[in-house]
Amino acid sequence: MLKKLLVANRGEIAVRIIRAAQDLGIATVAVYSAADAGALHVELADEAVNIGPPAAKKSYLNIEAILTAARETGCDSVHPGYGFLAENAAFSDAVTGAGLVFVGPSGDAIRMMGDKVSARSAAAAAGVPVVPGSAGRVEGLEAGREVLAETGFPVMIKAAAGGGGRGIRIANSFAEFEQAFPQAEAEALAAFGDGGLYMEKVIGKARHVEVQILADGSDAIHCYERECSLQRRRQKVWEEAPSRALSDGLREELCASAVALAKAVKYSGAGTVEYLYDDEADRFYFIEMNTRIQVEHPVTEAITGIDLVAEMLRIAGGEKLRIRQGDVSVKGHAIEVRLNAEDPAKEFAPFPGQVAELRVPGGPGVRFDSMLYQGYQVPPFYDSLLAKLIVHAETREAAIVRLIRALNELKISGLKTTKPLFLALAADPAVRAGDVHTRWLEGWLIENAAASAG
């Protein structure tokens, strides 16, 4: 078992990891930037180390400063959380190279899954269905033309080294393709120093479903799926588990494919295999694997009763998987909404400020993961996520009713938040029916600007 853990993150996820470590009797060290001296994770950890100025590049992304803090406080392990250095293979290698345990997969596993082309090849080799497209990198325009036979139109041209929606172009015709391909090549080279491209068929109306994995380097299990189709600018805002769109048979097939991939790459720790699910074709396709704990992990914890962060810490400490696949079952339905410091009335403009009054919702089936406290000054330098409200109930319908109840209990004054958006979504007939896809929310926001602004 690990003895002393450095948490290389901030905000709600740092608090979440500190809680899991303390539940297991592991001592904790927080790191913080000059802007976070008054942050909750600093208060809750056993020790805290200032690792630099507010800019993330000089603090939370500063590998040297984090390793120095770990050494000086006598830590034996580092948890990266999500974002910042969580999927940085060099960081995983550096932590291991310093003789510490990295709570997550090896640098090699992160590299393999971080490169979209090698991840897709690994998935295909493990028998996981992938979106029709190029088998790997497309070497030049001529080779690209041949891939069109496989994909048809519209086709997506993506930078192999890209991420976060950057370097993506869509062509609807041969003429558009001829123009877009060289542009995408030049753009990828300029943005990522790597002009490598790959091509994929565009799946029109798709749901985003993803499977939670736990693995110990040899064995792997799944903790069923989450659906995260409600997205704005490719950012998830509302996540739930299980997905109501899947039949039981397809669910088993989907989850088994994620386990096969995790085993094939000898994965260790918690991970998520992401898919697109095409309702009409009733088929799923691999998109990518995230080699970290995800923001929306609590919905899986709610329906399975598994503490995913605690399991990550046990696996990192050298234990074999304690949970057998047959022990994992789904109970009820859970929904998470992301309360961001954004003003829905002003196109979600960021709204850093001070928390004047805070009333946290409670009662049966309600969980509130956050770093907020009364008087907390939200710094403008980092992500806008303030809190995650998670509700759990016997059915999806009951979970939505409970979500509305909890949102009405929640009071955060002094800041603008996305709470009005979720009250409006929870009342919407399409959301209530679960009849959504990944591009649904953006259209809805245009038609319902007033309602979502509260």
Partner 1 sequence: MAQILSPLPGTFYRSASPDQPPYKADGDAVSAGDVIGLIEVMKSFHEVRAETAGKNIRFLADNEEPIMAGAPIADLD
Residue ranges binding partner 1 (CB under 8 A): 35, 53-55, 57, 341-342, 349-350, 352, 380-384
Q: How far is the CB of 340 from partner 1 (least distance, A)?
A: 8
Q: Which amino acid belongs to residue 181?
A: F
Q: How far is the CB of 422 from partner 1 (least distance, A)?
A: 19
Between CA 165 and CA 230 the distance in angstroms is: 16
In this complex, which beta carbon is closest to partner 1, that of residue 57 or of residue 324?
Answer: 57
Q: Write 105-110 long-range contacts (CB < 8 A, 24+).
A: 105/267, 105/268, 105/269, 105/271, 105/291, 106/268, 109/265, 109/266, 109/267, 109/268, 109/291, 110/291
Between CA 356 and CA 375 the distance in angstroms is: 6
Between CA 162 and CA 291 the distance in angstroms is: 16
Element (H, E) at 182: helix 174-192
Cα separations in angstroms, 379 against 126, 343, 344, 419: 44, 16, 19, 19
Contact 75, 6 (CB under 8 A): yes
Q: Which amino acid belongs to residue 285?
A: Y
In this complex, which beta carbon is closest to partner 1, that of residue 99 or of residue 164?
Answer: 164
Residues 6 or more apart whose CB falls under 8 angstroms from that of 53 comprise 33, 34, 35, 59
In this complex, which beta carbon is closest to partner 1, that of residue 53 or of residue 332?
Answer: 53
In this complex, which beta carbon is closest to partner 1, that of residue 346 or of residue 359?
Answer: 346
Q: How far is the CB of 384 from partner 1 (least distance, A)?
A: 4
Q: How far is the CB of 32 from partner 1 (least distance, A)?
A: 15
In this complex, which beta carbon is closest to partner 1, that of residue 54 or of residue 332?
Answer: 54
In this complex, which beta carbon is closest to partner 1, that of residue 292 or of residue 333?
Answer: 292
State the catalytic residue, choosing from 207, 292, 338, 396: 292
Q: How far is the CB of 377 from partner 1 (least distance, A)?
A: 10
Between CA 393 and CA 350 the distance in angstroms is: 32
Q: How far is the CB of 35 from partner 1 (least distance, A)?
A: 7
Asked about 16 being catalytic, the answer comes back as: no
Q: Which amino acid belongs to residue 371?
A: M
Helices (H), 73-115: 89-97, 107-114
Between CA 58 and CA 21 the distance in angstroms is: 26
Residues noted as catalytic: 292
